[in-house]
Amino acid sequence: MIERESEVMVSKVLGYSQLADHVGIHGQRRLTEALNNDLLVWQKEYSTESSSKPTKSEYRETSNN
């Protein structure tokens, strides 16, 4: 069980690193704030074909309005 938790933590750290690389130094502060405030959701975009495979996955910041 501890091994699985470690794998999940490593996955989260790697995911954060990829997001931070994507948004750059200027977006990293907003990204960190959104993560800390639990304002991000995982969104999958599906192709228009009959396939249910996601074509693109990304995090998007949600609005509190």
Tokens describing residue 9: 């933590």
pLDDT greater than 80 at residue 27: yes
Q: What is the structure's pLDDT at 23?
A: 81
Please give the tally of structural domains in the chain: 1
* Cα–Cα distance measured from residue 53 to residue 20, given in angstroms and rounded to the nearest whole number: 25
pLDDT greater than 60 at residue 3: yes
Average pLDDT, the chain: 71
Q: What is the structure's pLDDT at 44?
A: 62
Contact 9, 18 (CB under 8 A): no
H or E segment to which residue 43 belongs: strand 40-46
Over residues 32-46, mean pLDDT: 73
* Cα–Cα distance measured from residue 44 to residue 51, given in angstroms and rounded to the nearest whole number: 13
pLDDT greater than 60 at residue 57: no
Give me the domain span that covers residue 14.
Answer: 2-61
Q: What is the structure's pLDDT at 47?
A: 58
